[in-house]
Structure 1
Amino acid sequence: MPRFAANLTMMFNEVPFQERFAAAAKAGFVAVEFLFPYDYPVADVTRWLQEAGLKSALFNMPPGNWTEGERGIASIPGREEEFRAGVAKSLEYALSMGTPTIHAMAGLLPEGADREWHRAVFVENIWYAAKALAEKNLTLVIEPINTRDIPGYFLNTQAEAHAICAEIGAANLKVQMDFYHAQIVEGDLSMTLKNNFAGVGHIQIASVPDRHEPDEGEVNYRHLFRLLDELGYNGWVGCEYRPRGKTEDGLVWMKEML
């Protein structure tokens, strides 16, 4: 059975962020992930992890102005220096927290944008980030996201993401496969996973279509978890879902599947 990491941005929202680490550990998790740690000093986040006895599985690079609607800047022309500063900042946090994998969000395409221009910027930025992370033995992931949840997002399909990784050719550059996004955009999850497995660096889960616990909806997670075991996946599976109610009450799915 895969190893699950609680996503503290979406789960355990019953308590403040700094208290979610202990709550996740009490619920049985041994690892966590979250979108961004940058609202808090790196020493504090590291201490919260250590006090709870948790591992840090993954977080995202700075996304630009999140509150104003930005969803990453890796594909945005003119933001290259800001992106590189974000690489350095994310490395500071990852090295302190012992995080092995960092996600670089691609960003939104403005209406009428030259997609090839944005793609060229994205490839250059991701090449730079992968090189910087490789020097610290860390993995960089890029993630296709569905345009129902984030209209205009630059990167949408597993095929495109894996093609970009192949083009860049960095050994530490992988694709984050969120089954929730992949089902909405592409479907055929088992074959998509099998065909691209060598290039998958992180997995995330949620029910489709409502993004709740993975014991409802149209995706057969029991089958996918068995498939991950058969393929030999040894990374973390991030539980990036919105609990239907109290987080702890919804964790019955994990107890049953384990």
Structure 2
Amino acid sequence: MRLVFDRRQFLSALAAGTALAASPRVLARGRLRQGLTPHLFDADIEATCRMAKRLGIDGLDFVSHPADWPTLKRHGLTMTVLRVDYGGGISTLARAPAGPPGWNAIGTPDQHGQFEAALRERIDAAAREGIPNIIVTCGARGSLSYEEGKRNAIGFLQRVRAQAEARGVTLVMENINSGHAGGPPAPPGSMFDHLPWGLDVVTQVNSSRVKLLLDLYHAQLMDGNITNFLRNNIQWIGHIHTGGVPGRHEIDETQELNYRHIARTIVELGYSGFISHEWTPSAGQDKLIALRNSIAILDV
């Protein structure tokens, strides 16, 4: 998902430092470590890092190009989740090519083992660079059944778990909804669209370095019951994405999920990972204010 800010507005606000000067509430970080996707800013990596620091953000997801990693470190930001892009790394403001069949779709056959080989290389790179997580997704069902996809995903993760464990890098598997209206397009038959399916995968693999990337927007569309799932399964969650429902907009009181309550629950459960903002401001909203307010909601 790519979110486009007005570049002139962004740069002028960054230079002036007034419209974006974070309130004490934002700068006095709560106990949740917050991240965001760089697509929230229509800017280069240097300006994006400066903006994130002004907002009190702790890290950025999906900065996939190794050339950008030193910039994050210089600004004191964590590269929170690495995406294994086809071709080895792309611009932070673009989407990677889809890649061959099975690329980052571990519920489907991995053609010639290309994605597994790339993931193994990235596990080593993440360990060297202090990157805590690498995302994996499960692809679309197509002609496969849920059970076939589950066997594929478990087999894939069993093959790579030892390397992830040895290198101290966590593989986080993301849930994606199956084509609900009201938000960005999703696969019509996502393999991992229901939380119990993914939970069964990670519990069968049973590794401290294989967990869920819990996308709360997708989870609410497909399953709901968010707080109970958190309470019962927090030990299997390695990263969290936010997004308002419906529409995947800012996480304020206009949305059906109560993110203040969710944030308090996550803190009470002792979660120590990142929770990252991945949503599009609704029409008519001041994008920067919407982001700052959403950050404040998670500061508990």
Whether these two folds match at TM > 0.5 is yes
Partner of 1:171, secondary structure, is coil
1:58 is aligned to: 81
Distance 2:286 2:121 in 1: 33
Distance 2:197 2:158 in 1: 16
1:128 is aligned to: 159
Partner of 1:135, secondary structure, is helix
Q: Which runs of 5+ in 1 are unaligned?
A: none
2:215 is aligned to: 178
Q: Does 1:27 align with 2:59?
A: no
Distance 1:204 1:31 in 2: 13
Work out which of the two has the higher radius of gyration on C-alpha atoms and give 1 or 2. 2
1:248 is aligned to: 288
Q: Deviations over 1:159-179 (max 9, x none)?
A: 111111121122211111111
Distance 1:197 1:191 in 2: 10
Alignment match of 1:145 (pick from 176, 181, 197): 176
Are the equivalent residues in 1 in contact too, given 2:242–2:251 (CA < 8 A)?
yes
Alignment match of 1:222 (pick from 237, 260, 266): 260
Q: Deviations over 1:138-191 (max 9, x none)?
A: 111112211122222111122111111121122211111111111001011111
Q: CA deviation at 1:249?
A: 2.3
Distance 2:128 2:50 in 1: 19
Tell me the TM-score normalized by structure 2.
0.75
Distance 1:146 1:163 in 2: 17
Q: CA deviation at 1:247?
A: 4.1
Partner of 2:80, secondary structure, is strand
Q: What is the 5 A alignment of 1:191-202?
A: 191-202=228-239
Q: CA deviation at 1:68?
A: 5.0
Are the equivalent residues in 2 in contact too, given 1:61–1:87 (CA < 8 A)?
yes
Alignment match of 1:109 (pick from 141, 144, 149): 141
Are the equivalent residues in 2 in contact too, given 1:5–1:33 (CA < 8 A)?
yes
Q: Does 1:8 align with 2:8?
A: no
Residue identity opposite 2:154 in structure 1: V
Distance 2:287 2:129 in 1: 24
Are the equivalent residues in 2 in contact too, given 1:206–1:240 (CA < 8 A)?
yes
Are the equivalent residues in 2 in contact too, given 1:46–1:96 (CA < 8 A)?
no
Q: CA deviation at 1:66?
A: 5.2
Change in Cα spacing, 1:217 to 1:101, as seen in structure 2 (3 Å) is same
Alignment match of 1:233 (pick from 267, 271, 275): 271
Residue identity opposite 2:296 in structure 1: K
Return 224-233 or 242-251, whichever deviates more.
242-251
Q: Does 1:168 align with 2:205?
A: yes
Tell me the TM-score normalized by structure 1.
0.87
Q: Does 1:207 align with 2:207?
A: no
Residue identity opposite 1:143 in structure 2: E
Change in Cα spacing, 1:165 to 1:133, as seen in structure 2 (3 Å) is same
Partner of 2:167, secondary structure, is coil
Are the equivalent residues in 1 in contact too, given 2:259–2:297 (CA < 8 A)?
no
Distance 2:53 2:125 in 1: 21
> How many residues align structurally?
250
1:87 is aligned to: 119
Change in Cα spacing, 1:73 to 1:193, as seen in structure 2 (3 Å) is same
Distance 1:66 1:108 in 2: 18
Q: Which runs of 5+ in 2 are unaligned?
A: 1-29, 88-94, 180-185
Distance 2:84 2:98 in 1: 17
Q: Deviations over 1:105-127 (max 9, x none)?
A: 111222x3344333322211111
Deviation >6 Å, runs of 4+: none
Change in Cα spacing, 1:101 to 1:82, as seen in structure 2 (3 Å) is same
Which structure's relative contact order is higher, taking Cα pairs within 8 Å and 6+ residues apart? 1
Q: How many percent of aligned residue pairs carry the same amino acid?
A: 24
